[in-house]
Amino acid sequence: MAMDMNIATISLLLLLASTAYVAQSADFDVMSYGAKPDADIAQALTSAWKEACAASGSSKVLIPEGTYKSSSVTLEGPCKGPIEVQLDGTLQAPADPSQIKGDGWVVFLRVEDFTLSGSGTLDGQGATSWKTNNCGPNIDCSLYATSLRLDYITNGVVQGITSKDAKSFHINVFGCKNLTIEHVTVTAPETSHNTDGIHIGRSSGIIVTDTTIGTGDDCISLGDGSQDVTIERVKCGPGHGISIGSLGKYKNEEPVSQIKVLDCTITGTTNGVRIKTWPASVGASTASDITFKGITMDNVANPVIIDQGYCPYGQCKAQIPSTIKISNVVIDDIQGTSATPETVQIICSKGVPCEDVKVSNIDLTYKGSKGTAKTVCENVKPTVTGTQNPPLCPDL
């Protein structure tokens, strides 16, 4: 009898503990905090976030279906437990870029165990900004606000959402650890200036997978300090391709390493996969352990390019070699069509030539009117295996 009572008591305690845990999980719907369709919900979103962030256990902020306006908003941790924002509606940024404070429109800052999910859209309403957002020729130009900033996120997931018509970058990842971006859509016209799809900097353990990006700049760009980054099954185009760099423009840049770009499809872009560093680099850093593998190119200009003389608009001293050391690069299984005769270009620095570059199984065809397909190599002695169409730098 005593044993039966003990078992019953233990079962009751376990049930109560389970019930208490469930009770700690809560939803915080922005409509309960005063949000209304076609009105600015920044204050309601902030209030819902603060209560969710302060709650014990798991919590979720809900933005239901509908169209809402939002001024700039920063949602900051640390939070007491795991937290999720489920975006099922459309958030519209102010059309006037001057109405957004700071360098981010929607910012998540210093959050651990974070999820941003849903079928909704961040609409940057950038069409009126692109004509005045062309920073290319102006070295002192300041970019407009990024649509979604993820700063110092640890153990995070972004999934399902769409970023549309950003004024500047769509998604910026900075100072993050262990963050996955999956099943995300990024869309803006080819004419939208400086609208990188996803930019990653000074972050590690980053995965971008099963994502579709079409925009007016790099589909994905990786800045200094990007380490242990995997980009897999991404569809890119239009845009400028998937880029590492540019590197070497600023002081105290951190090394880039352990980058994998795998099984991606790139269509109609101005570059395919590339590494770009500035000549006359400020300081010396490195880019190493980089793999481009299983990439399909469809009418892509410059399908594969390492450019250590990257100097747009004459903004540098091009005659001074880059000091960024590039090493241990694998370029494997690249197939499809090129929009330019130069299918593979490995143009390394004469000051610090590239080392340990392996090229295998390249099959890229060019059917244009500007000559025959060719490759270019400078300051590099690559290891070449497998198919090479066209032949890789036969004069080496």
Q: Which residues are catalytic?
A: 240
Q: Which pLDDT score is estimated for 138?
A: 63
**H or E element in which residue 178 lies:** strand 177-182
Q: Is residue 10 part of a domain?
A: no
Q: What is the pLDDT of residue 12?
A: 46
* Tens digits of residue pLDDT in 59-101: 999 999 999 999 999 999 999 999 999 999 999 999 999 999 8
Assess whether pLDDT exceeds 80 at residue 142: no
Name the one residue in this structure whose structure tokens are 């018509």: 165
Would you state the pLDDT for residue 15?
47
CATH number of the domain that 78 lies in?
Answer: 2.160.20.10
Per residue in 345-380, pLDDT (tens digit) is 999 999 999 999 999 999 999 989 999 999 999 999
Instruction: Let me know the angle formed at the C-alpha of 182 by 177 and 184, rounded to the nearest 5 degrees.
Output: 120
Is the pLDDT assigned to residue 137 strictly greater than 80? no
* Average pLDDT score over residue span 246-260: 95
pLDDT at position 131, please? 83
pLDDT on residue 201:
98
CB count, 10 Å around CB of 202? 16
Task: Let me know if residue 380 belongs to a domain.
Answer: yes
Answer yes or no: are the C-beta atoms of 267 and 232 closer than 8 Å. no
Q: What is the pLDDT of residues 145-196, one digit of tens each?
A: 999 999 999 999 999 999 999 999 999 999 999 999 999 999 999 999 899 9
Residue 281 pLDDT exceeds 90 = no
- Note the pLDDT tens digit of each residue in 108-120: 999 999 999 999 9
- Same domain for 261 and 210: no
The mean pLDDT of the chain is 92
The pTM score is 0.93
Q: Residue 85's pLDDT is what? A: 98
Q: Which domain holds residue 163?
A: 24-133+143-217
Q: Give residue 23's pLDDT.
A: 40
Identify which has the larger pLDDT, 141 or 241. Answer: 241
302 and 384 share one domain: yes
* Ramachandran angles phi, psi of 25, nearest 5°: -85, 130
243 in the same domain as 198: no
Same domain (yes/no): 172, 309? no
One domain for residues 296 and 239: yes
At residue 14, does pLDDT exceed 50? Answer: no
Domain boundary among 153, 182, 217: 217
Same domain flag for 266 and 364: yes
Tell me: do 77 and 208 sit in the same domain.
yes
Q: Is residue 225 part of a domain?
A: no
- Asked whether residue 245 is assigned to any structural domain, the reply reads yes
**Consecutive H or E run containing 13:** helix 2-24
Q: How far is CA 191 from CA 92, 121, 166, in A?
A: 20, 21, 12
Residues 289 and 388 in one domain: yes
Task: Return the ∠ at Cα 66 (arms to 87 and 38), rounded to 5°.
Answer: 115
Please tell me the total count of domains within the chain.
2
| Burial class of residue 49, CB neighbours in 10 A (0-12, 13-18, 19+) | buried
> Which of these, 91, 52, 50, 54, lies nearest to 72 by C-alpha position?
91
pLDDT at 317: 73
Tens of pLDDT, residues 294-316: 999 999 999 999 999 998 877 67
Domain boundary among 217, 248, 266: 217
In 3-state terms, what secondary structure has residue 105?
strand
**What's residue 139's pLDDT?**
60
Task: Examine the pLDDT at 16 and tell me if it is beyond 60.
Answer: no
What's the CA gap between 185 and 332, in Å, rounded? 27
* 224 within a domain of the structure (yes/no): no
Summarize the confidence of residues 4-8 as an average pLDDT. 49
Query: Which stretches within 116-204 are classed as H helix?
Result: none
220-222 and 185-187: which strand pairing?
Answer: unpaired
Instruction: Tell whether 254 and 366 lie within a shared domain.
Output: yes
